[in-house]
């Protein structure tokens, strides 16, 4: 691969990471994950 292809791959990976970070740190996603973990750890009885 040429240097330009490596640069494009790096930029794409960084952009994908930024999108994932924005999604995973949003309030809605944080609330859903917290609810799932709380429900999973809750013991009935």
Question: Which residue, among 12, 33, 38, 13, has the nearest Cα to 23 in the 3D structure?
Answer: 33
- What pLDDT is attached to residue 1? 59
Residues 6+ apart with CB under 8 A from 17: none
Q: Where are the domains of the chain?
A: 3-41
Q: Name the DSSP class of 26.
A: S
Query: In this structure, are residues 23 and 29 in contact, taking their beta carbons and an 8 Å threshold?
Result: yes
pLDDT digits (tens, 9 = 90+) for 1-45: 589 999 999 999 999 999 999 998 899 988 998 999 999 998 765
């Amino acid at each position: 691969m040429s240097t330009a292809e490596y640069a494009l791959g790096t930029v794409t990976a960084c952009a994908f990471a930024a999108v994932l970070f924005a999604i995973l740190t949003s309030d809605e996603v944080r609330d859903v994950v917290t609810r799932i973990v709380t429900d999973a750890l809750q013991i009935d009885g």
